[in-house]
Structure 1
């Protein structure tokens, strides 16, 4: 687990996670923008209107029905290939920053979100980014991560919400 950092100096709270990947930014860019590659690590199917990541493009996020019956919508906010991708994800804003570092890529994910979702999302993104770098999370890893983040974030943000009521995972 790589500890998520809580950011509280903006208009909304955010969690920041960082990972080192051995591949150059151009390769990592494909992993965060190509639908088939996203399926291996992102929590849902990502469908960009017209198949092109461009500012203003609509995005549909379909979660697997065996996990939760939910579809979110979003919009591409910023694209600077292969350095920056930002988009809305339901009521959240995700920002992926890629920088060349030690022959590979430093990936920084910042998730701007509602206060009560910080621990849940930090734990979830930890697992997703682990999968992106090729690490398979333990079956109950999310629960222990959520407990750690809840304890760490509650004093700054208030009570932390677990999975949605209709979550089947």
Structure 2
């Protein structure tokens, strides 16, 4: 049996690049865990596989190429590259054509995690936000030691992905 995902508020920011060709989605989470624990969950392949939308082919603790296939998809899947590391504060990588940046800041109660996903598809922001919302909830659950379900593909739909997508769509069109 698995534990339920921790509930998190809907919130985030969406910005268009100066040249208008790329978008950046930013989600922030307050995690009641030390930076070092969150860093391990972001970089150790076995731990990343519990919450992320991809299964890294190696730990993400060194620069260079890495396979980042999506569970359930056929073929080798997207490639990635760890481009920036500043342990335990900053991890940046590419995932196919997209950029992912995880910034960690210590707080009095744990860690502030800021995820920025940079992408080109204009129609995807609320879909990406809903997916990352669920993934970050799974990350929080794993940090608490819960046996959380994978929330990729159809499993994401079973955990409220469509409702979250609609809520993020409302948030991004209101702003």
Please give the TM-score of this superposition, normalised by the length of structure 1. 0.79
Query: Number of residue pairs matched?
Result: 151
2:74: which partner in 1? 69
How far did residue 2 of structure 1 move?
Answer: 3.1
How far did residue 117 of structure 1 move?
Answer: 1.9
CA distance in 1, matches of 2:47, 2:88: 15
Q: Pick one of 115, 118, 125 that aligns with 1:118.
A: 125
After superposition, the CA RMSD in angstroms is: 2.3
2:41: which partner in 1? 31
CA distance in 1, matches of 2:60, 2:168: 35
CA distance in 1, matches of 2:159, 2:48: 22
Alignment of 1:148 with 2:148, yes or no, is no
How far did residue 52 of structure 1 move?
Answer: 5.7
CA distance in 2, matches of 1:78, 1:111: 14
Q: Pick one of 14, 27, 31 that aligns with 1:21.
A: 31
How far did residue 17 of structure 1 move?
Answer: 0.5
Query: Which consecutive residues of structure 2, in runs of 5 or more, have no partner in the other structure?
Result: 1-8, 152-156
Cα offsets for 1:116-166 (capped at 9, x unmatched): 22111111000000111118688241101112223444689xxxxxxxxxx
Checking the alignment, whether the CA contact within 8 Å between 2:92 and 2:100 is kept in structure 1 is: yes
Query: How is 1:47-126 mapped onto 2 (pairs within 5 angstroms)?
Result: 47-48=57-58, 51=59, 53-55=61-63, 57-65=64-72, 68-69=73-74, 71-114=77-120, 115-126=122-133
Query: Which consecutive residues of structure 1, in runs of 5 or more, have no partner in the other structure?
Result: 157-169
Cα offsets for 1:75-95 (capped at 9, x unmatched): 111000000000001111000
Checking the alignment, whether the CA contact within 8 Å between 1:4 and 1:17 is kept in structure 2 is: yes
Checking the alignment, whether the CA contact within 8 Å between 1:123 and 1:145 is kept in structure 2 is: yes
Checking the alignment, whether the CA contact within 8 Å between 2:44 and 2:60 is kept in structure 1 is: no
